[in-house]
């Protein structure tokens, strides 16, 4: 039985066969120091030792870690949606988001994104953005960077918003009834649900162009490709196909 979360920001971390990559020490150290964050790990039908590791973390920090065991494997999109809906039931929760289990984006960036939301009360979404600028440490393989730029440009055109990076796995949202409504239905897409969340947000606000005042992209200071990613080059084509499906469903 999960104990109630105690902090006002819940991070959902979807996990599928992460036993060899999960950085237990990094998660434990961050949660020990953080006064605002807790984590909901969603085990998405893992077949290795992931679930046992997650339960160890929850046992060590019961007020800051919850584990949802989702069976069978249904993909990252549904793991995130399931976890965020669960987190939104937490009394007093102010913020909720999702974070990649491999910590390609270090956990200290959570506080950066939280700072943006707390300092700008009108904002509803803060997206981590992998912008390679002087003084920032963004380590990304060239092929993935350029494919990502092509996809991000296409997503920006479909959404009608000047977004630089829709696919970074570091995002925070204000915990609102609107967000719960956006997450009620399963996603059409398995790979680019990030884009679909924004599409639903646009639909909810009737495509109001003032949404640029509700969504903020934060240039991350650190991001690094982590070995063992489950994404492959061929998945780019699946993502483009799903972008077309999103366009037809939400913008036609």
User: What is the residue-level pLDDT of the chain in tens, covering all 252 positions?
Assistant: 677 776 799 999 999 999 999 999 999 999 999 989 999 999 999 999 999 999 999 999 999 999 999 999 999 999 999 999 999 999 999 999 999 999 999 999 999 999 999 999 999 999 999 998 899 999 988 888 888 899 999 999 999 999 999 999 999 999 999 999 999 999 999 889 999 999 999 998 875 656 778 999 999 999 999 876 666 667 788 999 999 999 999 998
Nearest Cα neighbor of 211 from 155, 154, 162, 149 is 162
Find residue 224's DSSP bridge partners: 139
* Tokens of residue 5, six digits: 């979360």
What are the angstrom distances between the C-alpha of 79 and each of 43, 92, 108, 133? 8, 23, 23, 32
Contacts by 216-219, CB closer than 8 A, 24 or more apart: 216/116, 216/120, 216/123, 216/125, 216/126, 216/127, 217/126, 217/127, 217/128, 217/129, 217/163, 217/164, 217/165, 218/112, 218/113, 218/116, 218/126, 218/127, 218/128, 218/129, 219/129, 219/131, 219/133, 219/136
Which numeric CATH code is attached to 9-251?
3.90.550.10
What's the first-to-final CA gap in the chain, in angstroms?
45
User: In this structure, are residues 168 and 224 in contact, taking their beta carbons and an 8 Å threshold?
Assistant: no
The full set of domain ranges for the chain reads 9-251
What are the angstrom distances between the C-alpha of 172 and each of 14, 25, 128, 144? 15, 23, 8, 24
What are the angstrom distances between the C-alpha of 99 and each of 104, 168, 169, 172, 229? 9, 9, 5, 9, 14
What pTM did the predictor assign? 0.94
- Check residue 92 and give left, alpha or beta (phi > 0: left; psi -120 to 50: alpha): left
């Amino acid at each position: 039985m999960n104990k109630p979360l105690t902090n006002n920001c819940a991070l959902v971390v979807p996990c599928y066969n992460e036993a060899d990559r999960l950085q237990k020490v990094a998660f434990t150290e961050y949660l020990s120091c953080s006064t605002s964050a807790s984590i909901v790990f969603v085990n998405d039908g893992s077949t290795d030792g992931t679930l046992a590791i997650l339960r160890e973390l929850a046992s060590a920090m019961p007020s800051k870690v919850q584990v949802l065991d989702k069976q069978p494997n249904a993909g990252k999109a549904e793991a995130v949606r399931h976890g965020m809906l669960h987190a939104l039931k937490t009394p007093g929760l102010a913020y909720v988001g999702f974070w990649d289990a491999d910590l390609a984006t270090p956990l200290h960036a959570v506080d950066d994104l939280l700072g943006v939301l707390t300092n700008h009360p009108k904002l509803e979404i803060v997206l981590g953005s992998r912008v390679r600028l002087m003084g920032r440490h963004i380590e990304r393989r060239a092929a993935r960077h350029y494919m990502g730029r092509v996809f991000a440009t296409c997503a920006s055109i479909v959404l009608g918003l000047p977004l630089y990076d829709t696919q970074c796995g570091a995002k925070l949202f204000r915990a609102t009834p609107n967000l719960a409504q956006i997450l009620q239905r399963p996603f059409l897409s398995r790979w680019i649900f990030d884009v679909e969340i924004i599409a639903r947000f646009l639909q909810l606000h009737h495509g109001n162009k003032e949404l640029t005042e509700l969504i903020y992209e934060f240039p991350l200071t650190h991001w690094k490709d982590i070995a063992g990613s489950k994404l492959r080059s061929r998945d780019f084509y699946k993502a483009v196909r799903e972008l077309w499906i999103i366009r037809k469903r939400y913008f036609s």
